[in-house]
Structure 1
Amino acid sequence: MEESINLYELTFSEKDRYVIITNAYPHEDQLYRNGFIHRRVKAYLDEGLKVDVFVLHPAYKKAEKYTYEDVPVYRGTEQHLRIFLNHKIHKKALIHFVNPKMVQAIKETNSDLPIITWIHGFETEAWHRRWFNFLESPESLRKILEMSDDYYVSQLSFMNWFYQTTELDTTFVHISKWFKEHIAECDARAESKNSIIIPNVIDDNLFTFIEKPAEMRTKVLSIRPYASRKYANDLSVKAVLELSKRPYFDKLEFAFYGDGKLFDQTVEPIRDFENVTIHKGFLSQEKIAALHKKYGIFLCPTRLDSQGVSMCEAMSSGLVPISTDITAIPEFVKHDVSGLLTKPESPTDIADAIERLYYNSDVFLRVSKQASQSIREKCAVDVVIKRELEIIKG
């Protein structure tokens, strides 16, 4: 439970602390807010790092503190962040989803504080990268065009400065080479100095590999958000409709899990199929890992991804991912080696990939093992956290 606090009166019994500044963090009432950051923090704590989290958001008018799974979390406005940083007990600031207010607070209170900034996605993208989200109505298109003259221009102007400035000691962490070169630096029109590529961590201790029997090639799982068209859930649904025309369709089993404003309308066309189950709602990481044990194929087409974390988690569990040969996905899935990649905007290609696995159990078994092995080599806790700690402590 959160409590209102007086930041001026805060006392810290230990020095050598690190502060993580972000725009959202899990809470008992909001379990899915940047959960991937929390997984990092837990791993840092396991390695002996002392970490505080500060959530900067205008919705928190009062300074508050709560504890989530042993992690101390503070939240408030930009002014509260300034007061917090003025204690000057942190060795470095670790930023996720950076915005000008976070950096301004550091400049005004402790400009010598080294900064490590993770670049994830929308904070460094031009508006047109997500064109597919604005086709629902003239109103949504009008709104984003208005924002393109204000929010996106100012944010990208800030990123242009931030990537290049010598006023601050900053290291940038990009989660994929494709995203760094083709989106982050391209849209900001600047090269990010002092940068490194480290993917998001996958909890391979939770998403464990158990060898799949050949029969699981008929069991297809989709666990996706439905808040944006970037996840291409409509293509998954159309692939099921395409497969329904093929003679072996009733031998397949599909499960769709997720939630968001697009959920009901997206899955409506496949609700009446007896071999399709639909589950509206979000799942804990533990429940997702348990579901992975019951299925063999993970359906995850996309229109824009800087990594595809849920896909990587499924790969760690040994599911064969069927995704799209687009954006950063090929950095994490090699076609016909650790997964199957399909053409963009092609439900038929997705259906053909499922058909290939149905008729070729040897391909399914081979790719299942290689998917788990390859993603662990890239994204396992030991691999990623070791690299992150090297730059955090360095």
Structure 2
Amino acid sequence: MLGPSLEEKGGMGSVESLILDSSPVELQIQHLTTWDGEPSRQSSLHRLKVFTWALIIFLGKLLQRQVDVIHIHFSERGSALRMSILTLIAMAFRKPVITHAHGCEFHTFHDELPQGMKQVLNWILQRCTYLIALSESWKDFYINNCDLTAEQVVVLPNPVEIPENVPERSNSHKKINIVFLGRIGKRKGVFDLLEAYAKVAPEQRKKSELILAGIGQVEQANHLAERLYLKEHVAFAGWVDSAKRSELLSQADVFLLPSYNEGLPMALLEAMSWGLPVITTPVGGIPEVITHNETGLLVNPGDVQQLAEALQSLIENESLRLELGSAARQRVAPLDVKIYSRSLSELYFSSLGTNQTRNFEPTLTGAVTNSRCQ
């Protein structure tokens, strides 16, 4: 398995860690880090060294015939370039390759490529035994825009660990904790979120607290909270590890993710697994797990007024919070990492000797609906 560091502060690292932690005994998976850490904090030379070292180990394993299947996690831009290089090497050794597409902005990146580079990238993806897409809408994209076959693209929504028990959230006696988990910035809708929270009625803000957990444009978000007179109602938790994330979600009452682009966000699935009502946007694979007014509330990206109204409704209405949260937890039950692990294991074994005929049917079939991106 090749991809970002397991310590990467994002969804890919979380998915990789879940796969490795839940791997069945019949599989021996070795992870190689091809990208390590925040691009803004590391030089190009450092990133090149990390990738070169992964290449050396990868080639050594191939030459020693210690590899049966290659699983490559990728997103867009530099990640797509690294995936392409690794896939070409695997092709030279005639090994089955499973590419795992996570990029929430891959469609934009793909559209902006020069025609020649786009054709090369498509050709490389077409050589893969399977491509894992996070949703039906992303499967459609890779079939229609990269000319992959329907049998080649397998939908495996991101897995999630389902907590055995969730707390009782009937809490009219205390403040409503509203939690955001993700990269602080425009793409995740954080600035819209602050603007919307400022529009919530003052008496509702007094009954609630907004907790923003993540790295990114924290300083800009902090300044905006000050300008909107929200400082006493907003807390910045910084980056949180898995234990702290679980603690935050267990103590939360509402989860927010008003993104402009997504694949199928791990933070959203984790929040749903904790029985939280969510307010989010119908982008990427989100409409395939969130049905408006059933398993969460959907608002249009960038619609601050709509977001404010959704926020106010959940702060005011405890029964709605509890109803949506319970439905959300039931909705992600099929995405339990134990089920996911079996599906992925089946995919690995299917890729051995099935380069010509692809008829894999994942255990997770039916775990998502046929809704499309909006």
Alignment pair present for 1:91 and 2:50? no
User: Which position in structure 2 is the counterpart of 1:21?
Assistant: 2
Q: Aligned equivalents of 1:25 and 1:120: distance in 2? A: 15
Is the CA contact (8 Å cut-off) linking 2:34 and 2:54 kept in structure 1? Answer: yes
TM-score (normalised: structure 1): 0.75
User: Which position in structure 1 is the counterpart of 2:359?
Assistant: none
Q: Aligned equivalents of 1:229 and 1:353: distance in 2? A: 19
User: Which position in structure 2 is the counterpart of 1:359?
Assistant: 316
Aligned partner (choices 84, 96, 99) of residue 114 of structure 1: 96
Alignment pair present for 1:176 and 2:138? no
C-alpha spacing 1:291/1:123, structure 2 compared with 1 (3 Å): closer
Aligned partner (choices 53, 64, 76) of residue 76 of structure 1: 53
For structure 1, which segment, 329-338 or 120-129, has the greater mean C-alpha deviation from structure 2 after superposition? 120-129
Q: Aligned equivalents of 1:337 and 1:253: distance in 2? A: 24
User: Which position in structure 1 is the counterpart of 2:278?
Assistant: 321
The equivalences for 1:243-282 within 5 A come to 243=200, 245-260=201-216, 262-271=217-226, 272-273=229-230, 275-282=232-239
Determine which structure has more spread, i.e. the larger CA radius of gyration: 1
Alignment pair present for 1:201 and 2:181? no
Alignment pair present for 1:160 and 2:132? no
Higher relative contact order (CA 8 A, sep 6+): 2
Aligned length: 330
The equivalences for 1:207-226 within 5 A come to 208-215=165-172, 218-226=176-184
**What amino acid is aligned across from residue 233 of structure 2 in structure 1?**
V
Q: Aligned equivalents of 1:361 and 1:62: distance in 2? A: 52
User: Which position in structure 2 is the counterpart of 1:135?
Assistant: none
Q: Per-residue deviation at 1:269? A: 2.2
Q: Per-residue deviation at 1:79? A: 4.8
Unaligned runs of 5+ in 1: 1-19, 64-73, 130-147
Cα displacement string for residues 197-252 of structure 1 (whole angstroms, at most 9, x for unaligned residues): 011111224x85333214378321112212x5321111111111111x45433122
Is the CA contact (8 Å cut-off) linking 1:316 and 1:372 kept in structure 2? Answer: yes
Structure with more of its chain in strand, by fraction:
1
Q: Per-residue deviation at 1:355? A: 1.8
C-alpha spacing 1:301/1:104, structure 2 compared with 1 (3 Å): same
Is the CA contact (8 Å cut-off) linking 2:90 and 2:96 kept in structure 1? Answer: no
TM-score (normalised: structure 2): 0.79
Q: Aligned equivalents of 1:192 and 1:96: distance in 2? A: 20
Q: After TM superposition, where is structure 1 displaced by more than 4 Å over at least 4 residues in a row?
A: 30-33, 60-63, 189-193
Is the CA contact (8 Å cut-off) linking 1:296 and 1:320 kept in structure 2? Answer: yes
Is the CA contact (8 Å cut-off) linking 1:163 and 1:191 kept in structure 2? Answer: no
Identity across aligned pairs (percent)?
18
Q: Which secondary structure does the structure 1 equivalent of 2:315 belong to?
A: helix
User: Which position in structure 1 is the counterpart of 2:370?
Assistant: none
User: Which position in structure 2 is the counterpart of 1:70?
Assistant: none
Is the CA contact (8 Å cut-off) linking 1:61 and 1:77 kept in structure 2? Answer: no
Name the Cα RMSD after superposition: 2.8
Is the CA contact (8 Å cut-off) linking 1:320 and 1:339 kept in structure 2? Answer: yes
Unaligned runs of 5+ in 2: 36-44, 75-79, 351-374
